[in-house]
């Protein structure tokens, strides 16, 4: 089995929006729409009653989570939305009738109707690049080494970032662009409503707000 996904180290993300810009440029995403959004979470008090400077904040990138059991595929009446053997969820535009059932069923609000083409669009995980053994544009252009791409079934330590570096290779202080160690409790997903989102988010020493 294969389940392609992206892991984002939220402690390294600085909210520069390079991933969003790269995505729009690579995929020709229409003005006003996004396949990849960067949200600011916080500032929130570190403890009840806390005031500045005792606050914490992080940036959260949200896009199609290429779920293991996607609701959007279940509700599509024409099978335009479908799941590939590599685990990604794709849209066959030749079959899409623009009914937007998938848009309404997505728990993350990451699909939209292309008004000009009258078909639904979303993140494809840059399938055209991945097919050539390249990284998705949002990963390749992440200057902070916060985003990593790989097969979830092989473990997130094997995920690759810019210049071919693996996440597991950069954990520790004795390397370029070091990644701070993390435990299983530091790895999160967006809310799971039975769809089993594939993307993972690493967040250390801060309160995960992704379930809200």
What share of the chain has pLDDT > 70, as a percent?
98
Q: What pLDDT is attached to residue 212?
A: 55
**pLDDT grade, residue 161 (50/70/90)?**
very high
**pLDDT grade, residue 171 (50/70/90)?**
confident
Average pLDDT, whole number, for the chain? 93
Q: Is the pLDDT of residue 46 over 90?
A: no
Q: What pLDDT is attached to residue 15?
A: 95
Weakest mean pLDDT among 44-48, 61-65, 129-133: 44-48
Q: What pLDDT is attached to residue 163?
A: 82
**Which residues are paired to 201 by β-bridges?**
8, 188
Nearest to 88 by CA among 73, 72, 107, 66: 66
Q: Is the pLDDT of residue 188 over 90?
A: yes
Q: Is the pLDDT of residue 48 over 90?
A: no
Q: What pLDDT is attached to residue 211?
A: 67
Q: What pLDDT is attached to residue 21?
A: 95
**pLDDT grade, residue 178 (50/70/90)?**
confident
pLDDT digits (tens, 9 = 90+) for 80-113: 999 999 999 999 999 999 999 999 999 999 999 9
Residue partners of 20: CB distance under 8 A and separation at least 6:
34, 36, 37, 38, 138
Instruction: Give me the domains of the chain, ranges plus CATH numbers.
Output: 4-67+123-202 (3.30.70.20)
- Residue for token digits 């995403």? 29
Nearest to 156 by CA among 110, 104, 89, 202: 202
């Amino acid at each position: 089995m294969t389940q392609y996904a992206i892991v984002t180290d939220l402690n390294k993300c600085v909210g520069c929006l390079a991933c969003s810009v790269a995505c729009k440029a690579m995929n020709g995403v229409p003005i006003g729409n996004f396949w990849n959004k960067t949200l600011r979470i916080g500032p929130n008090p570190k403890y009840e009653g806390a005031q500045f400077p005792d606050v914490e904040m992080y940036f959260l990138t949200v896009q199609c989570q290429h779920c293991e059991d996607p609701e959007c595929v279940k509700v599509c009446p024409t099978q335009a939305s479908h799941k590939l053997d590599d685990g990604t969820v794709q849209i066959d535009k030749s079959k899409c009738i623009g009914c937007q059932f998938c848009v309404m069923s997505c728990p993350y609000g990451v699909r939209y109707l292309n008004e000009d083409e009258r078909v639904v669009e979303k993140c494809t995980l840059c399938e055209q690049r991945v097919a050539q053994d390249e990284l998705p544009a949002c990963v390749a252009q992440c200057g902070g080494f916060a985003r990593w791409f790989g097969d979830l079934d092989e473990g997130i330590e094997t995920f690759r970032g810019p210049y071919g570096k693996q996440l597991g290779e950069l954990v520790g202080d004795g390397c370029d662009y070091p990644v701070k160690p993390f435990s299983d409790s530091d790895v999160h997903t967006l809310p799971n409503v039975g769809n089993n989102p594939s993307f993972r988010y690493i967040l250390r020493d801060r309160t995960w707000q992704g379930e809200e």
